[in-house]
Amino acid sequence: MTRFLLRRLALTIPILIGVSIVMFITIKITPGDPVASLLGPTGSPEARVALTEKLGLDRPLIVQYAKWFGNILQGDAGISIARQTGALGLVWDAMQNTLVLAGFAAILAMVVGVTIGLTAAVYPDSVLARVVSGFSLFAISVPQYSLALISIVYLAANLGWFPTGGMNDPSGEGGLGDLLHHLWLPGIASALVPLGIIARMVRSAMIDALNEDYIEALRSRGLPRSTVTRHAFHNAIPGILTIAGLQAGYLLGGVVFVETVFSWPGMGLLIFQSISQRDLPVIQAGVLLSALAFVLINLVVDTIQASIDPRLRR
């Protein structure tokens, strides 16, 4: 198990390097000019040249990358062009806020999705199972933005049950209750698609597990249905976790839209703003940190899987 962990940890390094290279190239080939956005339309040609040199943007791409990478290794991600503060600090704060939202949504999606999927698999002919598969289909197919906007208009603006945006009440004391109050709408909006996917995945994984030969063998030993179901679930967990892990990663990136709509001060909102401002240091640090989070989530998922299914411990 220790060897398994060490090997998986070592694997994350080339993955992060690969991600950073792809990101670097992508940013360079997309149109838009950080210098222009910094100086605005009034910038003189001389100022442009000077700033380009100052930012190192006149150097070959490989040199720019090497310099950036060397700085990152020393914990320096550069200064935000738009905000004039350290990019790493900005990105780190935003990441924490995103983790709060994504974590909340992930727990919501897991708990509700697994419950729904299990019910549908174990009682395939029940009315509940049909309602539940209908709901998971709805969760997947309803466009996230329409739901987010509708909930803001009706539940927040009209009824006033929830705040229309933000993470904490600026006037209040804050605290956990306040945070939860702000979390519900963006949390549900982010959780809906992964919830539907997890529910369907759990359902099919459980149906497969319940059709395995050992299930009949377990029944032939006199085990009651609930125990047999538990055995099947135990076997289905690794498959379910694979999907859940992917969904958790998707949540990290996928909350961009929700964060923007609900003005949640997270990574999505930060990267969204930074892209429109061509704020390269922030984009680069943000993408790298997101990739790191994604890789770590997968590592955790794989580790749990290996501890559940002995056949994966290789």
Which residues of this protein are in contact with another protein, per CB under 8 A?
A: 212-214, 216-225, 227, 231, 234-235, 308-311
Q: How far is the C-alpha of 31 from the C-alpha of 271, rounded, in Å?
A: 16
| Nearest approach, Cβ of residue 125 and another protein (Å) | 10
Per DSSP, the chain holds a count of helices (H) and strands (E) of: 12, 0
Nearer to another protein, 112 or 209 (CB): 209
| Identity of the residue, 16 or 308, whose beta carbon is nearer to another protein in the bound complex | 308
> Token digits for 228?
């047999």
Closest Cα to residue 259, out of 274, 244, 245? 274
**79 three-class SS:** strand
What is the distance between the alpha carbons of residues 147 and 170, in angstroms, rounded to a whole number? 26
Residue with tokens 């529910």: 199
Whole-number minimum distance, CB 124 to another protein, in Å? 11
Q: Which is nearer to another protein, 142 or 223 (CB)?
A: 223
What value, to the nearest 5°, has the Cα angle with vertex 268 and ends 264 and 271?
120
Q: Least distance to another protein from the beta carbon of 219, Å?
A: 6
Cβ proximity to another protein, 228 vs 251, nearer residue: 228
Look-up of token digits 């969204």: 272
DSSP string, 95-108: HHHHHHHHHHHHHH
Question: Dihedral (C-alpha) 116, 120, 123, 127: value to the nearest 10 degrees?
Answer: 90
Nearer Cβ to another protein (54/234): 234
Q: Which is nearer to another protein, 173 or 213 (CB)?
A: 213
Q: Which two tokens stand for residue 118?
A: 């299990």
Q: Exposure string (b/e) for 216-240, b if CB count within 10 Å is 16 or more?
A: eebeeeeeeeeebbebbbebbbbbb
Nearer to another protein, 183 or 218 (CB): 218
Of 18 and 224, which CB lies nearer to another protein in the complex structure? 224
Instruction: Report which of 184, 174, 196, 186 is spatially closest to residue 259, judged by C-alpha positions.
Output: 186
